[in-house]
């Protein structure tokens, strides 16, 4: 389902790939060693979900923990969820049952979650594993391919313009 309301809020999951083990400085959390694999970062935007995701994809500013990580890893896919029962904390609560948590309190300084960052070691199948897991909870979502080099289906530039487009 295409989200076509410019101001609509919701939650999102950024999927990033780390091809090799890396030590990355995550702001105030200091240096963290990340194994090779995929990380899932769960976030929320009260409104302007698409604008928030575009900021994550395009901006080089370092404000949130995820900004430090995405400077070293590639965002390959984004999942958008506009069902407000599934905010970032509700999503994190189910993701922690299935996925590893590589960094405590990553992105969750303002809530009681252990973390909003999760890890899956399978570089090629993590997106499918995550999507199937969300489906098992009957969560409705939109999956958008961002990085062509990791897409088994080839790159569709319209995907990016879909989230970038304004409908003011
Ligand atoms: Zn939380």
Domain ranges of the chain: 10-164
What are the two backbone dihedrals, phi and then psi, of residue 51, each rounded to the nearest 5 degrees?
-65, -40
Ligand 1 centroid to Cα of residue 153, in Å, is 33
CA of 110 to the centre of ligand 1 (A): 7
Distance 152 CA to ligand 1 centre (A): 32
Q: Write down the residue that tokens 């409104």 correspond to.
A: 47
Residue 15 Cα to ligand 1 middle (Å): 17
For residue 112, report the distance from its CA to the centre of ligand 1, in Å. 6
Average pLDDT, the chain: 86
Q: Which has the minimum average pLDDT: 2-11, 82-91, 102-111?
A: 2-11
C-alpha 119/C-alpha 16 separation (Å) is 10
Q: In this model, does residue 96 exceed pLDDT 60?
A: yes
- What confidence category does residue 150 fall into, taking pLDDT thresholds of 50, 70 and 90? very low
């Amino acid at each position: 389902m295409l989200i076509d309301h410019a101001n609509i809020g919701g939650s999102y999951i950024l999927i990033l790939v780390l091809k090799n083990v890396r030590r990355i400085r995550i702001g105030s959390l200091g240096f963290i060693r990340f194994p090779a694999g995929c990380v899932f970062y769960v976030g929320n935007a009260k409104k302007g979900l698409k604008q928030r995701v575009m900021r994550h994809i395009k901006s080089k500013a370092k404000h949130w923990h995820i900004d430090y990580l995405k400077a070293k890893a590639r965002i390959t896919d984004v999942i958008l969820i506009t069902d407000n029962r599934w905010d970032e904390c509700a999503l994190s609560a189910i993701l922690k049952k299935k996925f590893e948590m590589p960094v405590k309190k990553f992105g969750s300084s303002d809530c009681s979650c252990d973390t909003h960052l999760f890890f899956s070691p399978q570089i090629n199948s993590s997106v499918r594993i995550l999507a199937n897991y969300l489906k098992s909870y009957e969560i409705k979502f939109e999956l958008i391919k961002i990085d062509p080099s990791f897409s088994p289906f080839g790159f569709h530039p319209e995907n990016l313009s879909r989230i970038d487009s304004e409908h003011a």
